[in-house]
Amino acid sequence: MSHVLSPRPDTRFLVLDTALTLFTERGFFSTSVHDISREAGVSIGSIYHHFGDKEGVASALYEQLGARMEGLISEIRRRHTTAHDQAMELVSRLFQLTESEPRAMEFMLYAKHREFLPRQGPVCSSRPFVLMREIVSMGMERGEIRPMDTLIASASLFGGPLRMITGRLDGLVDKPLPECLDAVWACAWRAVAMAAPAP
Amino acid sequence: MSHVLSPRPDTRFLVLDTALTLFTERGFFSTSVHDISREAGVSIGSIYHHFGDKEGVASALYEQLGARMEGLISEIRRRHTTAHDQAMELVSRLFQLTESEPRAMEFMLYAKHREFLPRQGPVCSSRPFVLMREIVSMGMERGEIRPMDTLIASASLFGGPLRMITGRLDGLVDKPLPECLDAVWACAWRAVAMAAPAP
DNA sequence: GTCTATACGACGATAGAC
DNA sequence: GTCTATCGTCGTATAGAC
């Protein structure tokens, strides 16, 4: 626990925070370990001591953000019962996160991790995306969502909102995403929602 | 016109074709000019003679594929009158293209061009995506699509289908996309279509 | 754990003959 | 237009002192 008492800022945190900024601004390959070292005020030796190699930095970043994302979804699944509420809350939180931490969002779902993290599968196979599909799957069993291929339903429900996020990160969308939530969600839900029973 | 008569395969084509394969397989930064030279059977000197530098190769590839895409959309817009038909035909053709030329699709809409083509804007600002938004815009004027922000409608209509494409390129989707067309399109169109007038 | 200095390899790009 | 040979730089990673 010595690090808690130490006045020195945590090296690992410093490095990861700087790396996230540089990776998203210039990209992984256009960022040298020297750059990270200089910007973070941490020596190269320390970086290699903590992370092994450059890929290790990206890897740690990926895992950290992935775990946060997973925690977020798990929390949402505990707090809401219907697929509709769970999915809408998820989109809402992702929209908020895009505004408050655009770099984190960009690194998670916009970076081509396969290019620099060959061990990781594609993003959409990662835990968070699996959990999203589980929400959809549950919705179909509950009769909230029309019966169809789960993958198709998942893409149709979250495809629009995710596209808004990348559009926002690209500077294509001017308005803060939370202001668009109602309109975006209405379309997304309409795409997969069970038709109202004939009166 | 001497190149037409020459028995030697066109160098530019050879290089671009090889580059497309390598760029999508390993990524732009993990592909050296030496790699392209070796795989294409063309000397390094020739590559630099034709393309100036490595970025020039990627740039030429980007322009070539972008022009093809634009031509495709223009053709569709001429052959169909309603936004519904235009958009559905577009999704259908993109699905076919994903199967027949996955590398071209991947390079066009899955690569992070900003990392190696700093001059190019984001993909979604490119001509093809502008044309897609024009289809949606027209559909709204014609009363086919509910009135709403064009960007939101565009994301909602094409977000699902595009997500299926990336899912397919990632190996997440097993079935050939054209087989999913009806189900995917039904969801996509439902998301934005004007409600049927009350009987 | 943190630092500096250095080794080493790879890659982008060029020169210049044919 | 095409080729081979070469140069110079940059960046990853390590060694070893503190």
Task: Quote the CA–CA distance of A20 and A107 in Å, as a whole number.
Answer: 7
Q: Which of B32, B172, B185 to mutate to test the interface with A (most CBs of A within 10 A)?
A: B172
Task: Report the residue count for chain A.
Answer: 199
| Contact map slice: B 136-155 vs A, CB within 8 A | 148-149, 151-153, 155
In this model, does residue A197 exceed pLDDT 80?
A: no
Write out the residue limits of the CATH 1.10.10.60 domain(s) in chain B. 8-52
CATH topology of domain B65-192: Tetracycline Repressor; domain 2 (1.10.357)
- Is the shortest CB-to-strand distance from A43 to strand D under 7 Å? no
* pLDDT tens digits for range A31-45: 999 999 999 999 999
For the residues A137-153, what does the mean pLDDT come to? 98
B53 CA – D11 C1', rounded, Å? 20
Residue-wise over B30-54: b if at least 16 C-beta within 10 A, else e? ebebeebbebbebeeeebeeebeeb
The partner residue sitting opposite B191, judged by closest CB among A125, A172, A191, is: A191
A151 and B171: CB-CB below 8 Å?
no
| CATH code of domain A6-52 | 1.10.10.60
Using CA coordinates, name the residue in chain B closest to A106.
B112
For A145, phi then psi, to 5°, come to -115, 140
Asked if residues A86 and A135 have their Cβ atoms less than 8 Å apart, the reply is yes
Write out the residue limits of the CATH 1.10.10.60 domain(s) in chain A. 6-52
* pLDDT tens digits for range B68-117: 999 999 999 999 999 999 999 999 999 999 999 999 999 998 888 989 99
* Chain B residues inside the 8 Å CB shell of A27: 112, 114-116
* Interhelix angle B33-40/B44-51, nearest 10 degrees: 110
Write out the residue limits of the CATH 1.10.357.10 domain(s) in chain B. 65-192
Angle at A65 between CA A64 and CA A70, to 5 degrees: 100
Give domain B8-52's CATH number out of 1.10.10.60, 3.40.50.150, 3.30.420.40, 1.10.357.10. 1.10.10.60
pTM of the model: 0.95
A172 and B125: CB-CB below 8 Å?
yes
Q: Which two tokens stand for residue B31?
A: 């592909």
